[in-house]
Amino acid sequence: MPSWLVLATIFTFWLPGAPGDILGTAADTQGLPKLEFPGTSDALDPFFKSLRELDKGVAEKVRVAHFGDSHIAADIFTGRMRDRMQMRFGDGGRGFLLPGRPWSGYRPDNASTGHTGRWSFSNALYARTKRTEHIGKGIFGLGGFAACTEEPDASLFVELARSGEILLGEVYAAAGTEGTATGTEGGRFCIETPRRAAECFDTRGGRAALGVYPFRLDPLEDKRVSIVQKSGENCFLGVSVEDDAPGVVYDSLGINGARLSTLGNLTSPYFEEILVHRKYNLVILSYGTNETVGRSFDAAGYLKKGDEVLGHLLDYLPGGACLLVGPPLFSTPRSKGVVPSPHIHKAIEVQKELAARHNCAYFDTYAWMGGDDALQRWVDAPGEMLDAFRRNYHLKLDVDLVERAAKAGFSLISRDHVHYRRDGYYLLADLLFEVLMRHYEGYLHRVSQGSAQQTNLLPRLSRR
């Protein structure tokens, strides 16, 4: 690795006040667990190549899509990953956000969203039910949601917790209904920003397709955009906001209660078109908790459905890389005491088989947290477990985190023993980020070694 890159990496990890303060330098993390590559050892090379191009100033954006269950839907784990990636490789913008507030607890990191008026929210988790009039009609966005209305002046808004940059945004909507049975007629809506005249669009007529409607926020503007319904019926699928500058964009696409099979509900052309339009370099999938909380587990069925879902998803991401992240430690809900799921190891075996079949990397979160016997210790003695992490993985832990862990009542895991508190999700994200960066540095070393060999070969060829 070039000496300047080593110095830059070390400086980034030690930058005061940065999210990276919880960990030491790359040299201090040699004890970290590694990713597994059940397929080929170069499965993440396309992603690492795009990061290298971003480092060299060749690429403009590197985009990551992180699908998952409630661990991801909270956008705490993914928010931390976004911060770490953007601090290291540049801030490419906030990325994709769901339309309005599809559930009361939707609180995206560093942004706020909401709606006024009457809206119908469809959710891919319930695609086989009749929860709303749009369920089963294929009206889903990238995050598995859509917001539909016929009420004039009903609005959706997105507001970002930042200022000083030029931001380029896109509103995604279902446009055209010809030749489909979506049950929507399309209509007219306007995009309003603080300092610009409203821009209005019509989604009626023509072949059913994804509508992409751009907007811009200038440096002196408040970072708020509103989508205002005017007439007819419109279904909005999401909003994306990116900086007019190179960097990483990290999209959080979790659904509470989701399983890997939930992605099988997203057969809408709108979902597929947004997926292609966003041009992701890496797709991360974090599932396994909800699949293993029941009394039974169908490993063969899980493998078959997962095979279908991954095959369908990756078909729309040619040239992209894939990473499966296994579930963290958790206790079976409604059990007496802390009881690990009896099916968790079978599920992890299936996930690794899926990673092998689709050439994805795999991160066994459950194993590196200590496995079945470690859950009770994480609940009873988080300070001791953090100290063990520091010693076993050579981590330089955040002083504030260590001090909090020493206090009575401190916990990284929530009371339900399934979800995690903010510190817990931060720790999980920091470890995953550090592991990714360790493999990225290995990729850079391989590339530099290959370049050196080619360079050394040229003089010998010229003398022949």
pTM given for the model: 0.88
In tens, the pLDDT along 330-383 reads 988 766 778 888 899 999 999 999 999 999 999 999 998 888 888 888 888 888
pLDDT at 142: 86
Say whether domain 111-241 belongs to CATH 2.30.110.10.
no
410: left (phi over 0), alpha (psi -120 to 50) or beta: beta
pLDDT at 162: 74
Cα 59-62-64 angle, rounded to 5 deg: 170
Closest residue by Cα to residue 47 from 444, 452, 351, 448: 444
pLDDT at 31: 63
From the candidate CATH numbers 3.40.50.1110, 2.40.30.10, 3.90.870.10, 3.40.190.10, the one assigned to the domain spanning 3-92+245-452: 3.40.50.1110
Q: Which helix (H) or strand (E) holds 451?
A: helix 422-462
Whole-angstrom Cα distance, residue 50 to residue 46?
A: 6
Residues carrying CATH 2.60.120.260, the chain:
111-241
pLDDT at 126: 66
Residues carrying CATH 3.40.50.1110, the chain:
3-92+245-452
C-alpha of 285 from chain center:
8
Parts of the chain with a pLDDT under 50:
1, 3-29, 128-136, 179, 457-458, 460-464
